[in-house]
């Protein structure tokens, strides 16, 4: 049986870049994926166009147990490296708001082009094959069965693949319609790695049936979203103001997807519906004095939302008639609207899953401390980006880091 230098499980962005770059560094590579084409989840990214990276990218844009490691990886692989890759693949791109870089062709183009380059570098593809039945090299401390195995091996379809090194790039269980699973993360846990349980993030929030803003589905506007946890307000989103969309079951849109990264059961969502126009100032403007309160609000937000937000006893009063307390009540209703979601739409609709293999059990080159020769990259690691191209960026950055480690290159400096 042929012994590969490296076998990579998962042909998402992390596995593809890792495979291409390892092969370019002279290694023989097997790349395995359950799907019969590479990059299935990637092809859904950014509404089909792919938000591949971001002009501003730091460890603060990630949830992880090891921000210092993430910082090192990102410094060695900044936004410009992804842009160079897109140029090399002839994939035109544009910059949108918040520094987001989107492709100008279907997102699947990135996976297709990387797969062609892998092919050019003689990577052997095992597509439509779920890797299972793994065995570890005999040299792995406490794991190798006594015997002759000198390599990792596993079944891929009808064949048995053997390799000196193994890279797990199996992604997360988010968005199962893309065939996602946590099977490789469970495998890593069974080999003694610390795993943070997965939870859905970048996901719409569901509201209880009786919440006061029901029936507004389809309305979208810019808000500032925060959370109230254990009686304390937090505004975790570094970007501040983003859009919110009312859905049939609750709220979605970028502001909510980002807030969902920190939301836990019991937390309240705190929304500022006029983040750039203080209501107290609007009330003070002379020309507004004769307006009814609801009419003032509906100048600056959709009328149905204004009606739902405005305390009933104030709606039909003139602005000039409001005393100090009522003004503050109105300002709180608009700027500090609080509601307690009943849950999220779950992994089924999540763009990512926080959790995964903790970096604390890995070297700075993302090699296992438990099983030498075993590496991890991409979303199956406990590194989850916020909205804005951060997850694909991480997949590519960690894939490149692992390929350089496989070739014996030194870890990037801190």
Ligand X SMILES: Cc1cc2nc3c(=O)[nH]c(=O)nc-3n(C[C@H](O)[C@H](O)[C@H](O)COP(=O)(O)OP(=O)(O)OC[C@H]3O[C@@H](n4cnc5c(N)ncnc54)[C@H](O)[C@@H]3O)c2cc1C
The residue among 314, 49, 11, 343 whose CA lies nearest residue 169 is 11
Contact 404, 397 (CB under 8 A): no
Binding residues among 367-386 for ligand X as defined by CB under 6 A: 378-379
The residue among 156, 162, 164, 160 whose CA lies nearest residue 139 is 164
Q: Quick check: 342 binds ligand X (CB under 6 A)?
A: no
The residue among 205, 227, 197, 177 whose CA lies nearest residue 345 is 205
Q: Quick check: 184 binds ligand X (CB under 6 A)?
A: yes
Q: Which of 389, 401, 402, 404 binds ligand X (CB under 6 A)?
A: 389
Closer by beta carbon to ligand X, 171 or else 341: 171
Q: Hunting for tokens 């590194």 — which residue is that?
A: 383
Binding piece for ligand X, criterion CB under 6 A, among 60-68, 170-178, 206-214, 233-241: 170-178
Separation of alpha carbons 400 and 151, rounded Å:
23
Closer by beta carbon to ligand X, 107 or else 319: 107
Closer by beta carbon to ligand X, 255 or else 301: 255
Closer by beta carbon to ligand X, 112 or else 351: 351
CA torsion, ordered 197, 363, 375, 168, to nearest 10 deg = 10
Number of residues that bind ligand X (CB under 6 A): 41
Q: Which of 7, 27, 32, 256 binds ligand X (CB under 6 A)?
A: 32
Closer by beta carbon to ligand X, 25 or else 37: 37
In terms of phi and psi (left: phi > 0; alpha: psi -120 to 50; beta: otherwise), the region of 364 is: alpha
Q: Quick check: 175 binds ligand X (CB under 6 A)?
A: yes
- Tokens representing 150 are 């000198």
Q: Which of 24, 25, 35, 55 binds ligand X (CB under 6 A)?
A: 35
Closer by beta carbon to ligand X, 45 or else 306: 45
The residue among 172, 164, 190 whose CA lies nearest residue 7 is 164
Closer by beta carbon to ligand X, 130 or else 295: 130
Contact 301, 277 (CB under 8 A): no
Least distance from ligand X to the Cβ atom of residue 233, Å: 28
Q: Quick check: 169 binds ligand X (CB under 6 A)?
A: yes
The answer to whether the Cα torsion of 123, 128, 132, 133 is positive or negative is negative
Question: Which residues bind to ligand X, rule: CB under 6 A?
Answer: 9-15, 32-35, 40-42, 44-46, 50-51, 130-131, 169-171, 174-175, 178-181, 183-184, 351-352, 378-379, 389-392, 395
């Amino acid at each position: 049986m042929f012994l590969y230098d490296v076998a990579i499980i998962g042909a998402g962005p992390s596995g593809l870049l890792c495979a291409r770059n390892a092969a370019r560094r002279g290694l023989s590579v097997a790349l395995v994926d359950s799907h019969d084409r590479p990059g299935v989840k990637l092809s859904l990214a950014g509404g089909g166009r792919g938000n591949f990276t971001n002009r501003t990218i730091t460890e603060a844009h990630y949830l992880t147990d090891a921000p210092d490691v993430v910082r090192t990886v990102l410094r060695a692989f900044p936004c410009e490296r992804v842009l160079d890759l897109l140029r090399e693949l002839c994939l035109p791109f544009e910059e949108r708001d918040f520094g987001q870089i989107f492709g100008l062709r279907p997102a699947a183009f990135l996976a297709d082009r990387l797969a062609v380059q892998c092919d050019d570098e003689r990577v052997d593809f095992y597509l439509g094959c779920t890797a299972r039945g793994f065995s570890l090299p005999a040299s792995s401390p406490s794991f190798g069965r006594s015997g002759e195995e000198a390599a990792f091996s596993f079944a891929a379809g009808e064949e048995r693949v053997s390799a000196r090194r193994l890279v797990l790039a199996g992604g997360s269980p988010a968005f199962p319609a893309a065939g996602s699973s946590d099977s490789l993360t469970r495998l890593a846990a069974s080999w003694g790695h610390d795993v943070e349980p997965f939870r859905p993030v970048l996901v719409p929030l569901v509201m209880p049936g009786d919440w006061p803003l029901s029936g507004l589905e389809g309305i979208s506007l810019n808000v500032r979203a925060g959370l109230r946890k254990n009686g304390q307000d937090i505004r975790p989103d570094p970007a501040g103001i983003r859009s919110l969309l009312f859905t049939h079951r609750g709220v979605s849109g970028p502001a909510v997807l980002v807030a969902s990264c920190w939301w836990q059961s019991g937390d309240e969502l705190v929304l500022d519906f006029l983040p750039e126009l203080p209501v107290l100032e609007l009330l003070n403007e002379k020309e507004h004095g004769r307006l009814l309160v609801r009419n003032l609000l509906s100048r600056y937000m959709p009328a149905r939302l204004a009606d739902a937000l405005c305390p009933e006893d104030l709606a039909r009063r003139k602005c000039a008639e409001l005393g100090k307390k009522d003004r503050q009540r109105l300002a709180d209703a608009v700027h500090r609207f609080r509601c307690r979601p009943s849950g999220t739409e779950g992994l089924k609709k999540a763009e990512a899953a926080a959790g995964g293999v903790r970096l604390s059990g890995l070297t700075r080159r993302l090699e296992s401390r438990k099983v030498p020769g075993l590496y991890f990259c991409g979303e199956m690691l406990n590194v989850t980006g916020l909205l804005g191209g951060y997850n694909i960026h991480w997949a590519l950055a960690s894939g490149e880091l692992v390929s350089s480690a496989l070739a014996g290159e030194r870890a990037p400096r801190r």
